[in-house]
């Protein structure tokens, strides 16, 4: 209730962040496509439906129908008999480009670990589009991905959502109109990184104090801008004479100073920027949800959430997604209670939003296998999880987490034609993406070397070697 | 499927910890020799060893029966080169005993043996075992002294001293290792060669890099043990092949991302490769040639391939590694061999071939043992069925009930 009231009171503060909305704009253009019919496939729509021996048609980059219908006469026809079709796979947690291959110090651009609050940095300014990892992910069916800053900081900076198309700039990959995310981090990482330097935070309570101090500053920032805009509006209303014009000019000449850090935090409080929070322990996630209530914002997704299964009901009730691993555990204390049923248990309650994420340049190449492992463990624990449900963990739920569920992640009319044709049931170690389409354009083909991009970095390496 | 699991558990509840005769009914048995599958066979286990492999073996009330119902049975898998039982939590340094650094001596220490720190009661061991893994190679991690130390095979039967096979000394030849040891590969090779030469010197005055214990350990491993070299770059592998030949040592390549480039030379030198079949990115300048069919290409050239996932807590991922190798061209039974008998042969110890007389470390799988949707339904170690519980299954069972009147701390699975 408090949150809603605050949101309403902030609704008019549209000036804040106006510059950032137009900064570094997307220049993404879909590649050339042709009307395409995929026939006789097993289709998993991404939102819970499975269609056997069904067809799919897309045209001008958008899906026209799923199941059966009319196709243009000049359509390309792909026979997918015996094969499976899913939405393009989405990874909500990647560091491709910011921690690229080769993993050398000169490429280590993912953590601005010089201060615990760096909400002012944007991951996109670190993205190296020539990271070979993008092409490998494409071969695994990844069509969209969120690039996040690392977790050294309490506020790590803005994320960026990309379409996985080969390009020379990140702007040419930037998902049009996708909201920004803000990376935040709980627990061991920030307190270790800064505690070792004998600076704050060095404890979990220090973490929370620093988040709250930052939100308080952001509230003041919003208030200052609101006050400025109120004055401008007041003067505009009075602007009937020379005196009024002078007063208006004075008001306009004294806007509050723009602050990149607070602009991002204010974007969260206004509901424009989605919070993606690295958090492992169940009790800490509940603390964070209470803090979000205190300041009137919504946590979008907890990432890693190795203990999310312990609070699956609370996550569902609060509408918070859990972006999780299938089986990682034990690498640090807050990951000690990992279980392989975590994803299935977060998926279980009504409204549960489970996502399989990678956080890995290897895992992103086979997110379908990660989902398969989680599905199998859920089934073995007695839960009913058909493939058509589990696919949502790497498609529609992931799209929801990124704020693009109305565009991609589901095979339905008018959605972006982000589509993968698999050689078999994708929930298998032997499954491979045969063809991948982004906005209707074929960007990968397992059998056609001319549709297998390689990055500038890999060109001309090991020239004397022939396999 | 669920019912089958419950049935198996029911059977085990009647078991005692003593090795009772056990009969696995109707197995599809992967022998582990790289080719043989025996369909629809029974396996009789007595005194912890395989006593008979034949169809329709007669049973009696004294024999405990596990019905495989046609499902796959394999020897218990190799968990790779790990720190299982040497590490509880990687970021908790006092719980990590997988290597040494910053010793005050200024020497190389091949005699430092990680097996002395092995703790079979670590939760990592049952977590790994119930996924179908019966043994692993305990490794000494990269040190700042060129030689990491020594380890060897360990069997996951819960014993404090369940070590097998010969001594294995670990040497890291990567660019990363060279950076912290000598500053270059050239310096690294010079010092390693010197250490090997010194190991033959009995007069302490002739040794600069090794203590008496270090010289003895290195000499003994040259005679009867194995050296695992972490090395990825093709050019470095060639140098290693020359070195191994000159020193007359048993060498194994670990990493081997560019091993496919020098597959014929590796075959000629009879040097096996332990690799991660998921490594396909140019992670550094040592591994620009990484590719998914590395295992398949090496196998084609006749090189013995084994797998490691590079993981300790998630060592169980090695099944997925092997499955991906098969998906990229490695013959299926060769992958099973790489997970069962190949490491046993290279590093010594029990043969792990599913034949009469062999120690009965076996796994009944719910489906294809290399697929990600399958899991181990029964793990038999030395003829004794495992409880199939771990700290993780207990956490699961504590949180699986949707409601509980009391706090979950009162649920003790």
Return the CATH fold of A2-29+86-205+260-451.
Answer: TIM Barrel (3.20.20)
Residue A21: its pLDDT value, please?
A: 61
b/e code A371-385 from CB counts within 10 Å (16+ = b)? bbbbbbbbbbbebeb
A363 near A326, Cβ under 8 Å?
no
Nearest chain A residue to B370, by CA: A429
At B205-256, the pLDDT tens digits run: 999 999 999 999 999 999 999 999 999 999 999 999 999 999 999 999 999 9
Q: Which pLDDT belongs to residue A125?
A: 98
Q: What DSSP string runs through A367-436?
A: HHHHHHHHHHHHHHTT----HHHHGGGGTHHHHHHHT-TTTSSS-STTSB--EEEESS-SSSTT--EEEE
Mean of pLDDT values over A427-431: 98
CA distance B99 to B78: 21
The interface residues of chain A toward chain B in range 152-211, judged by CB-CB distance below 8 A, are 188
Q: Pick from A430, A432, A452 the residue to mutate for testing the B interface (most B CBs within 10 Å).
A: A430
The angle that helices B234-247 and B185-198 make with each other, rounded to 10 degrees, is 10
* Min distance A75 CA to chain B CA atoms (Å): 32
DSSP at A257: P
Question: Do the Cβ atoms of A330 and B312 come within 8 Å?
Answer: yes
Q: What is the pLDDT of residues A9-30, one digit of tens each?
A: 333 344 454 445 689 999 999 9
Domains of chain B in start order, with CATH, are 2-75+363-396 (2.30.40.10), 78-351 (3.20.20.140)
Q: For the ranges A235-239, B258-262, B270-274, which has the lowest average pLDDT?
A: A235-239
DSSP-derived pairing of the beta strands A321-324 and A433-438: unpaired
The partner residue sitting opposite A104, judged by closest CB among B234, B284, B316, is B284
Contact B323 A461 (CB under 8 A): no
State mean pLDDT over A198-225: 98
A428:B278 CB<8 A: no
Return the domain boundaries, chain A. Answer: 2-29+86-205+260-451
- What rounded mean pLDDT belongs to chain B? 94
Mind spelling out the 3-state secondary structure of B110-133? CCCEHHHHCCCCCCHHHHHHCCCE
Residues contacting B333, CB < 8 A, separation 6+ = B30, B33, B34, B35, B36, B37
The answer to whether A306 and A342 have CB atoms below 8 angstroms apart is: yes
Kindly list the distances between the CA atom of residue B367 and the CA atoms of A328, B370, B384, in Å, as whole numbers in the listed order: 23, 9, 22
Beta-strand relationship, A155-163 and A142-147: antiparallel
Answer whether B261 sits within 8 Å of A369, measured CB to CB: no
CA A90 to chain centre: 8
Taking CB atoms and an 8 Å limit, are A132 and B282 in contact across chains?
yes
Cβ contacts of B366 on chain A, cutoff 8 Å = 380
Nearest to A361 among B281, B323, B370 (CB): B281
Q: What is the pLDDT of residues A260-270, one digit of tens each?
A: 999 999 999 99
| Rounded mean pLDDT, B47-65 | 95
Q: What is the pLDDT of residue A249?
A: 74
Best mutation target among B282, B331, B378, B413 (most A Cβ atoms within 10 Å) is B282
Residue A462 has its nearest CB partner, among B5, B289, B373, at B289
* Cβ pair B283:A102 closer than 8 A: yes
Whole-complex ipTM: 0.94
Q: Does position A244 have pLDDT exceeding 80, yes or no?
A: no
Looking at every residue in chain A, the average pLDDT score rounds to: 94
With 50 as the cut, is the pLDDT of residue A334 above it? yes
**pLDDT given at position B206:** 93
pLDDT bin (cut points 50, 70, 90) of residue A254 is: confident
Q: Which helix (H) or strand (E) holds B396?
A: helix B391-399
- In a 10 Å sphere around its CB, with 0-12 CB exposed, 13-18 middle and 19+ buried, how is residue B93 labelled? exposed
Inter-chain touch B261–A103, beta carbons under 8 Å: no
Q: Answer whether A282's CB lies under 8 Å from A237's CB.
A: no
- Closest-CA residue in chain B for A105? B284
User: If residue B251 lies in a helix (H) or strand (E), which one and from where to where?
Assistant: strand B251-255
pTM of the full predicted structure?
A: 0.95
What is residue A78's three-state secondary structure?
strand
Instruction: Check pLDDT > 80 for residue B285.
Output: yes
Instruction: Give residue A12's pLDDT.
Output: 36
Contacts of B403 in chain A (CB under 8 A): none
- Higher-confidence position of B90 and B202: B90
Quote the tokens at residue B186. Answer: 């050239």
Query: Which positions ≥6 away from A44 have C-beta within 8 Å?
Result: A50, A84, A85, A86, A87, A387, A388, A391, A411, A426
Is A331 in Cβ contact with B91 (below 8 Å)?
yes
CB atoms within 10 A of CB B72: 20
The whole-angstrom separation of Cα B129 and Cα B368 is 18
Which has the minimum average pLDDT: A58-67, A125-134, A456-465, B284-293? A456-465
Q: CA–CA separation, B318 vs B307, rounded Å?
A: 7
Q: Determine what percent of chain A is predicted with pLDDT higher than 70.
A: 95
A330 vs B: CB within 8 A:
yes
pLDDT of residue A4: 38
The CA-based dihedral angle spanning residues B305, B311, B312, B313, taken in that order and rounded to the nearest 10 degrees: -130
3-state class (DSSP) for residue B69: coil
pLDDT tens track for B367-384? 999 999 999 999 999 999
Sign of CA dihedral B29, B31, B34, B36: negative
The backbone torsions φ and ψ at residue B84, rounded to the nearest 5 degrees and listed phi first, read: -60, 125
Q: What average pLDDT does the segment A91-104 reach?
A: 98
A381 touches chain B (CB under 8 A): yes
Q: Is B171 helix (H, G, I), strand (E, B) or coil?
A: strand
Of B91, B312, B400, the CB nearest to A381: B400
Give the pLDDT band of residue A248 (cuts 50, 70, 90): confident
CB contact under 8 A, B281 and A101: yes
Average pLDDT over residues B114-125: 98
Closest chain B residue by Cα to residue A461: B288
Label residue B142 exposed, middle or buried (CB < 10 Å: 0-12, 13-18, 19+).
buried
DSSP string, A81-101: TT-EEEEPEEEEEE-TTTS-S
């Amino acid at each position: 209730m408090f949150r809603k009231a605050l949101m309403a009171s902030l609704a008019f503060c549209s000036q804040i962040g106006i510059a950032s909305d137009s900064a570094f704009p997307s220049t993404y253009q879909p590649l050339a496509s042709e009307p395409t019919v995929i026939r006789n496939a097993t289709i998993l729509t991404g939102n819970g439906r499975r269609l056997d021996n069904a067809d799919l048609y897309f045209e001008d980059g958008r899906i026209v129908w799923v199941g059966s219908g009319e196709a243009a006469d000049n359509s390309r026809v792909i026979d997918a008999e015996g094969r499976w079709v899913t939405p393009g796979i989405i990874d909500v947690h990647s560091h491709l480009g910011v921690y690229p291959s080769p993993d050398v110090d000169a490429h280590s651009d993912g953590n601005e670990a010089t201060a615990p609050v760096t909400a002012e940095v944007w991951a996109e300014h670190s993205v190296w589009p020539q990271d070979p990892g993008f092409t490998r992910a494409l071969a695994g069916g990844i069509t969209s991905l969120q690039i996040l800053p690392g977790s050294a900081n309490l506020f790590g900076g803005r994320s960026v959502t990309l379409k996985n198309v080969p390009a020379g700039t990140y702007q040419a990959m930037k998902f049009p109109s996708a909201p920004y995310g803000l990376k935040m981090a709980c627990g061991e990482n920030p307190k270790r990184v800064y505690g070792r330097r004998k600076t704050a935070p060095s404890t979990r309570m220090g973490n929370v104090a620093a988040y709250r101090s930052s939100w308080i500053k952001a509230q003041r920032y919003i208030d200052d801008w609101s006050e400025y805009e109120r004055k401008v509006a007041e003067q505009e209303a009075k602007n009937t004479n020379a005196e009024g014009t002078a007063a208006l000019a004075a008001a306009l000449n004294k806007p509050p100073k723009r602050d990149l850090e607070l602009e991002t935090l204010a974007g969260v409080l206004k509901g424009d920027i989605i919070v993606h929070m690295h958090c492992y322990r169940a009790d800490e996630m509940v603390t964070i949800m209470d803090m979000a209530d205190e300041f009137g914002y919504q946590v979008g997704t907890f990432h890693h959430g190795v203990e999310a299964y312990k609070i699956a009901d609370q996550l569902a009730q609060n509408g918070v997604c859990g972006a999780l691993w299938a089986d990682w555990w034990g690498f640090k204390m807050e990951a000690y209670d990992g279980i392989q049923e975590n994803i299935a248990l977060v998926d279980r309650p009504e409204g549960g939003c489970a996502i399989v994420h990678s956080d890995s340049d290897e895992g992103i190449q086979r997110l379908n296998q990660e989902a398969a492992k989680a599905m199998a463990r859920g089934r073995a624990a007695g839960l009913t999880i058909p493939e058509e449900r589990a696919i949502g963990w790497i498609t529609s739920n992931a799209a929801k987490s990124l704020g693009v569920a109305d565009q991609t992640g589901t095979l339905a009319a008018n959605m972006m034609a982000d589509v993968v044709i698999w050689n078999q049931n994708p929930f298998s170690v032997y499954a491979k993406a045969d063809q991948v389409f982004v906005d209707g354009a074929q960007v990968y083909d397992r059998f056609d070397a001319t549709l297998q991009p390689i990055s500038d970095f890999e060109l001309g390496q090991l020239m004397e070697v022939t396999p | 499927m669920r019912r089958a699991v419950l049935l198996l558990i029911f059977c085990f509840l009647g078991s005692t910890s003593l090795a009772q005769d056990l009969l696995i009914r109707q197995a599809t048995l992967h022998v582990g020799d790289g080719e043989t599958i025996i369909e629809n066979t029974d396996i009789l286990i007595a005194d912890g060893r395989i006593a008979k492999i034949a169809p329709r073996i007669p049973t009696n009330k004294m024999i405990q029966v596990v019905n495989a119902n046609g499902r796959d049975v394999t020897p218990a898998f190799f968990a790779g080169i790990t720190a299982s039982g040497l590490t509880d939590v990687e970021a908790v340094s006092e719980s990590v005993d997988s290597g040494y650094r910053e010793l005050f001596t200024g020497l190389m220490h091949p005699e430092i043996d990680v097996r002395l720190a092995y703790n079979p009661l670590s939760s990592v061991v049952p977590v790994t075992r119930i996924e179908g893994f019966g043994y692993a190679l305990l490794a000494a991690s990269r040190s700042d002294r060129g030689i990491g130390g020594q380890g060897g095979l360990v069997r996951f039967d819960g014993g404090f001293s369940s070590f097998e096979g010969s001594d294995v000394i670990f040497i890291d030849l990567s660019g990363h290792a060279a950076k912290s040891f000598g500053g270059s590969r050239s310096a690294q090779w010079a010092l390693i060669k010197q250490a090997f030469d010194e190991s033959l010197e009995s007069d302490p005055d002739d040794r600069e890099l090794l203590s008496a214990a270090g010289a003895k350990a290195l000499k003994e491993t040259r005679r009867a043990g194995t050296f695992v070299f972490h090395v990825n770059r093709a050019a470095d592998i060639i140098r290693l092949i020359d070195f191994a030949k000159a020193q007359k040592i048993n060498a194994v390549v670990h990493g081997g991302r560019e091993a496919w480039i020098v597959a014929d030379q590796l075959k000629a030198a009879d040097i096996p490769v332990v690799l991660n079949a998921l490594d396909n990115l140019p992670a550094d300048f040592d591994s620009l040639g990484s590719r998914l069919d590395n295992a398949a290409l090496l196998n084609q050239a006749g090189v013995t391939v084994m797998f490691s996932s590079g993981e300790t807590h998630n060592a169980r991922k090695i099944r997925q590694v092997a499955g991906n190798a098969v998906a990229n061209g490695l013959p299926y039974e060769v992958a099973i061999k790489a997970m069962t008998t190949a490491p046993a042969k290279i590093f010594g110890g029990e043969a792990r071939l599913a034949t009469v007389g062999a120690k009965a470390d076996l796994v009944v799988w719910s489906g294809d043992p290399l697929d990600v949707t399958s899991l181990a339904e029964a793990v038999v170690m030395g003829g004794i069925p495992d409880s199939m519980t771990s700290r993780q299954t207990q956490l699961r069972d504590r949180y699986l009930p949707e409601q509980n009147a009391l706090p979950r701390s009162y649920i003790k699975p």
